[in-house]
Amino acid sequence: MVVVLVVEDDPDFRGLMVQILHGWGHDVVEAGNVAEAMARVAERRPHTVVTDIGLPDGNGFELTQQLLALPGDMRVIVISSDSSAGNRNAALRAGAIGFLAKNELFSVGMQRLIDA
């Protein structure tokens, strides 16, 4: 079972993501900000992290860089309601394996990124 960390400050949207990922058979851990995300990573060492860009104590691009600097083979997917090319490019420059608009999160593409 793949452990997935969801980093999203909107509790309703985070809950929906958790529900869908559980439905896909994943063990899901939650965080509402960067500090919580780093604590959850230390506790659970997730296979994949799905992070929003806008977080109350930082952003998903910086979090991606922090996570990828840790030992291991963690993978990061950046999400946002703003699907502009600038955000997509910034996510990939930060080292994310992918970028998805929030309205694409429950697509086959998201499932493939997590399961890869």
> What does the pLDDT look like over 70-90, one tens digit per residue?
998 999 999 999 989 999 999
What pLDDT is stored for residue 38 in this prediction?
97
Q: Is the dihedral of CA 89, 21, 49, 15 positive or negative?
A: positive
What's the average model confidence in pLDDT over 52-57? 97
Instruction: Output the six-digit token pair for 86.
Output: 């600038």
CA distance 27 to 56: 25
Q: Is pLDDT of 56 > 90?
A: yes
Neighbour-count burial for 13-45, b at 16+ CB within 10 Å, e otherwise: bbebbbebbeeeebebbbbbbbebbbebbeeee
- Residue 59: pLDDT band by 50, 70, 90 thresholds? very high
Distance, in Å, from the CA atom of 100 to the CA atom of 114, rounded to the nearest integer, reads: 12
- Sequence length of the chain is 116
* pLDDT at res. 106: 76
pLDDT digits (tens, 9 = 90+) for 5-14: 999 999 999 9
As given in the structure block, the two tokens for residue 55 are 């977080």
41-45, 58-62, 112-116: least confident range: 112-116
Q: Is the pLDDT of residue 48 over 90?
A: yes
pLDDT bin (cut points 50, 70, 90) of residue 1 is: confident
Strands (E), 1-116: 3-7, 27-31, 48-52, 54-55, 58-59, 75-80, 98-101
